[in-house]
Structure 1
């Protein structure tokens, strides 16, 4: 009998959560519980399928089923880091507001081996990504040997504004038998987090300087608080007369963060000694709570509003109509519909990306430093995970798996392993040159890949050099619309492109004869009104 097995109830593909049942000898350990329906975890008369649950961090796709599981199996031990145990209630806002959430999660210390069951122990390490997020080393002492399994949860090697990255040096050479890790970004390579933050800050600054208010939907935990710290500390905004409003559950997340200051990095604790971390109406830019009675204040001047993801944003748009820019976070492997408000010209659209997980090089770096025998990829588009398992540098060294939900994974240790046949991901084509253009011809089998429809969405591609390789990237509808709305006209020129009523290629000045019609940025009409703050 094999001592290590993994049964994935859900592996985090697309919008699914993560829920993995691990068997180590006689022990059954549930790693995270992001299921919307926990019924598969409940046996008819014997309670839960697991002996205990370990939660990696407080994001909904890893914990949304925990409260229901506790209510069904109140004696089932549930463990997490101290910070995660305090952040968990934000996933159930209705019960949180009524005070009906019990303290069901038992906190575990970091970097300390803790005995959970006879022969079974755990050690938690910081994972980056979110305050309190942990990766974990599980050890099972069998009669003939000790088995080691390492689970990352969601991890990030780089530092972000409020969280230090995973301490890779502490884990180097750990050599677990099994490594279960996320592959959210597949093999893609992204710029450093600080570079992405600077790009986003500049784009928000440009929108504000052009007279537009900015609205940014974010999850209640993580990104919203990171953006607040970015806007408070970035040189584009320090000292500027701007109101940053926070609405919904993002407010509650900020309040809980304030209670956890002793667990934050030293630079954040130092910052909090000199000025409030979030709520501050004295130092510019001001950070304020937004409530229904304060909504009319949005009319006064350009401001930034951070709201819950999924919030109906129309309630804000009646203040300063047609002078809003919506910033939507892009997630690799996921698509979001463009709001009808964008197509109607009611609001401009900007998409942005802030890395919260490791890209391809970061993922492979962790694997090579840990040097496991088996690697199980979860949490990400199946196509992205397949890309990782196709990397020669991994296939030649490790036994790779990317299971679907419900597919048992047996993990023989020290036995011969035959790598299964994986789909082809390299395509050969032809290059021809003429006097005026270059043509690259690729086989039509490329279009079978589900990613092709997104790549070829607009028929427009961008090419750039990456070392000695030429990389092609498809331009999405969202990016195309955003580029169409960019204002590239000289700032001192009186033209439609510099008029405050020019939005999405149309005129929205109700007193203009061109109202509602498409106009060229170079055009001009007698009721031209310059952009606010054009001279800044």
Structure 2
């Protein structure tokens, strides 16, 4: 690998190479430039600033493939189209319909308004059919496979027939092998026999392993149930597309909420995403279509739990009665969570697709896991089934991707690459496998000592050089659990410790802050109290205490 532009290759070179402009780390989106023979293909365009793509020194791009409609993969497409109006952009049919939500501020009429001389937002991207090889350039075919993760998300098989051999490359975009509520997972069986030379795939979760999807759903439902049980409204900030609609479908169909007398409100662009889904019902799995034949997928006031778009009339009273609210992940939560709106529980996903700047509010906040990407088992399963010569990892923190390239089961079989933006990856294809150089060692040897009732684990100082150490050692406290024969250590964050304190259960018959109707978010909101606006402990007390629930009259 070398730091050079992909433009250094001549069109006559029968080589494979990949030049990443963005690999989905931190705030950057995904944007990979691929050269396969004489063809130059852009895989996704999640760059907010596309100036590197339009630099005069660069050779022109032949076509663009968009894997799905999430912002970190698609936000630069409109600017790219404006810069190069004749550049072909391809995606699945569903993705072409969802893409306009990325530029809703430019197209008030759901993406179909002409502006600034470009085509209607829904038509500058051309739809390709599933599983059918389409020749998009001389000797170059593209075949789309459903990738899971999001409605319309596609993985691409590129096949280039050169004079001396045929080259194949498989690009996953964001993929998920498991079925979710609204999307069927990527089928490994459908990919058998494709035999790609190069596999470019995401590694968002690194080597982490997650519980089964249904178990994750049940845990989320339990968190929501616990909040409602203590008269809290539950607020879930989510992206425009994907996670929010999955949660709504979960609440509409889960046995613990079926027939439940509770209101579910949807606000912001998440509601626009629901509207877009309703226009695409024929493309959804048969189970979803069958559900929609008996009751609306969204916007249903007749069947409990009621699901409605938040309007101005109800916005003023939101939270006065326990409810569930989904809103934009970038929304100012203070609009909903304030002293006059009742008690709130904010639930955030454990890992966001990319960092989100939000204005936090002083209310109880917890996290949940509802995965949208494959974990380590799914990632390695896909690699071993496709058996490429080269594997390029993208979309994840550098440390997580390094964990993947450190797996011995992968090192011994494949050429592994984990490039940074601006680093050219050359992909020579040969008949024999050459053992790649192993990545930097990431294992740490320590000592374990038992002293009476205390067990001490000592690790070398070098472990603190890893950028993850600061978060792990934030409070100096850890939680340990068994995972098979392995002992897993996890650092406890300050937020988790605060939540543990706030969840401390005081007996209901004690007059204290934990049982006071004015205690919300660990603060007192009774203006008559000397503790007003101050943080309070659960066992605190003041003369104007009022119980959460009035005692029954005798």
TM-score, normalised relative to structure 2: 0.91
Identify which of 434, 441, 451 aligns with 2:468: 451
> Is 1:440 equivalent to 2:452 in the alignment?
no
Q: Could you say which residue in structure 1 is the equivalent of 2:82? A: 71
Q: Could you say which residue in structure 2 is the equivalent of 1:424? A: 441
Question: 1:477/1:333 Cα in 2 relative to 1: closer, same or farther (>3 Å)?
Answer: farther
Identify which of 408, 418, 425 aligns with 1:402: 418
Q: Could you say which residue in structure 2 is the equivalent of 1:97? A: 108
> Is 1:280 equivalent to 2:280 in the alignment?
no
Identify which of 29, 48, 73 aligns with 1:62: 73
Question: 1:416/1:519 Cα in 2 relative to 1: closer, same or farther (>3 Å)?
Answer: closer
Contact 2:41 2:62 in 1 (8 A): yes
| Cα separation, 1, equivalents of 2:133 and 2:72 | 27
| Cα separation, 2, equivalents of 1:241 and 1:456 | 43
Pairs aligned (count): 530
Question: 1:191/1:296 Cα in 2 relative to 1: closer, same or farther (>3 Å)?
Answer: same
Contact 1:174 1:371 in 2 (8 A): no
Question: 1:238/1:525 Cα in 2 relative to 1: closer, same or farther (>3 Å)?
Answer: farther
> Is 1:159 equivalent to 2:175 in the alignment?
no
Aligned ranges for residues 283-298 of structure 1 at < 5 Å? 283-298=303-318
Unmatched 5+ residue regions in structure 2? 1-12, 115-119
Point out the more displaced range, 171-180 or 455-464. Answer: 171-180
Q: Could you say which residue in structure 2 is the equivalent of 1:231? A: 251
| Cα separation, 2, equivalents of 1:33 and 1:279 | 33
Name the SS of the counterpart of 2:105 in structure 1. helix
Contact 2:93 2:152 in 1 (8 A): yes
| Cα separation, 1, equivalents of 2:47 and 2:187 | 29
Identify which of 511, 516, 534 aligns with 1:499: 516
Aligned ranges for residues 369-384 of structure 1 at < 5 Å? 369-384=385-400
| Cα separation, 2, equivalents of 1:478 and 1:235 | 31
Point out the more displaced range, 284-293 or 410-419. Answer: 410-419
Question: 1:523/1:36 Cα in 2 relative to 1: closer, same or farther (>3 Å)?
Answer: closer
| Cα separation, 1, equivalents of 2:455 and 2:530 | 44
Q: Could you say which residue in structure 1 is the equivalent of 2:211? A: 191
| Cα separation, 2, equivalents of 1:333 and 1:452 | 21
Identify which of 387, 390, 409 aligns with 1:393: 409
The one-character-per-residue Cα deviations of 1:45-100 (angstroms, maximum 9, x if unpaired) are 98x73100011000010011000101111111100000000000000011121523
Aligned ranges for residues 453-472 of structure 1 at < 5 Å? 453-472=470-489
> Is 1:3 equivalent to 2:15 in the alignment?
yes
Unmatched 5+ residue regions in structure 1? none
Identify which of 326, 329, 351 aligns with 1:309: 329
Question: 1:274/1:230 Cα in 2 relative to 1: closer, same or farther (>3 Å)?
Answer: same
Contact 1:485 1:503 in 2 (8 A): no
Q: Could you say which residue in structure 2 is the equivalent of 1:179? A: 199
- CA drift of 1:476 comes to 1.5
Contact 1:495 1:521 in 2 (8 A): yes
Contact 1:7 1:408 in 2 (8 A): yes
- CA drift of 1:513 comes to 4.9
Q: Could you say which residue in structure 1 is the equivalent of 2:498? A: 481
Q: Could you say which residue in structure 1 is the equivalent of 2:276? A: 256
